[in-house]
Structure 1
Amino acid sequence: MSEDAKNIPNWRTELERKLRWLLVARLIILIFLFSTLVLFLSQHQFLFKLFVIYGLITLGYLAALYFWNIARREVRFGFLYGIELLIEIGFETAIIQYTGGESSPFTLLYMLTILSSAFFFELPGTVATATAAALAYSILIYLRTRGIITPIYMPNQALIHPDPEFIFLSAYLRVCFLYIVAFLSGYLSSKIKTHLGELEAAKQQLERAQWNTDQIIQHMRSGLITVDENGRAVYFNPAASRILQLPADEVLGEEISRTFPDRLKPLTDALLAALKSPTVRRSEIEIE
């Protein structure tokens, strides 16, 4: 098997690559959220602390999963990442509660979690994540409309509408939007994974065919020399090396007009003439 074929990324390296990209993406988004919080909501110390804890847990858990993969722990990744998603949804629900409940603009954080799940899970996983987020948000809205809990509003923020029916309608539309995001991200994730799998399979087949061809050429009894348009030898099989009595390492990558000795001048001239000729040429050459 060729070296390239041996270096085909397996599921662990693919998982490591996805985790690296997810860590970078989440870090950028959290920096943006913290910047917004500092600029507009710096007086809310509790909310700021809640965001800090949310960011540390999110990035810390993902970093732990990254090093878990490097350590080759034999634990199901889906189970561990599922726990991380549930923790995220819990903190996002708390952030929504402390930023106005049904009036909170941070319901978009649920979308972030759903999109993150699409990195590793296909459509069933994103739908399950959306369902967990929808349940958490629905319970929050239900407790708020029943008066069991009272949302904390930010400055200059008012209740969207005091009517419970309107609140449930608003919550229903947001839940529908979460499922739309889940279906789209899950579908695209499945398609991308399928296409990448097909490309990887095609790559393996091509490398296997190349390896088989190389093995045939290396062990054939006839000499084979391949030169590029500049007259440099790009292939020189063992039979050619044996017949012409030239070491392959001295010929490969060099111009045959310089590396071929005078006794091979007829062969050199024939090869260079064939390069300039637009037609296929066949001839016999006697080598001393």
Structure 2
Amino acid sequence: MSRRRDLAGYGLYRVLSGIFGLFPEPLMRRSGEALGWLLSFVAGERRRMSIRHLTRVTGDASAAPGLSRRAFASYGRYWAETFWVRPRRIAEIAAHTSIEGDDIVRRYRDQGGLILALPHLGNWEAAGVEALSLGLDLVAAAEALPNPLISRWFIEQRAMFGIDVVLVQSGASGELLTRLKAGKTLALPSDRDLKGRGIPVRFFGEATTLPAGPFVLAKRTGAPVLPVATYFKPGRGHHFVVREPLASGTVEAMAQELAGHFEDFIRVAPTQWHVLQPLWPSDREPA
């Protein structure tokens, strides 16, 4: 039964990829946003989480439900782009990207491995296209999904963006360390601590944890950790922001500094922050 379920889920992804792949970019983008907005009406617990998170970010509980609808629309755009991308479209995607802080990347890229720490903003995978133009050999850590066929599909999709993927499972830390020592650039989504055993921080005024990976790897190799944001433009395209490396302090100090950067990034475009799961310990308490 599990195998049949995996095949059905994988088949759905392939069908959606086939459908969205036929669309021109404007239709793909608007269809994704419309479907995401519609999903917000049946999303249940995920919508409740979105509203909680946006209330923390904006401090405005009355505005959060409306912002949450827009966040789901943005998430729909992310998925539409994921299904739409093809190797032949990479140059087209690159032509509609812009970046602040590319000079920072150029300054550090020839000194050894780099660590890019990102929140789940916009289409974070599109950063792979910009990384290619900057001459970076990009490796990303990604969650191992229960369906191995879909995990493999995601690996293939990210390869189109120029991203080599290491799944977060047994042995992943050692593999990432090896890649970093070899001069690769690691892209690590760092706003969700999946195991809940990360580094304590204050994030939007409340205690939670960030994953320890970026800071531990930096300490073991001396690699700089660059905070990065990836945004959708109002219409077509993406905009990336790179900041100076975190100060070399304790792991705890580095984590808190990164949390501050993430707060800045998310406040710029709160409806592009695609975290719909519990993120703070209080999110798991009964409503």
**Shorter-normalised TM-score: what interval?**
under 0.3
The two structures have a TM-score, normalised by structure 2, of 0.25
Higher share in strand: 2
The two structures have a TM-score, normalised by structure 1, of 0.25
Higher share in helix: 1
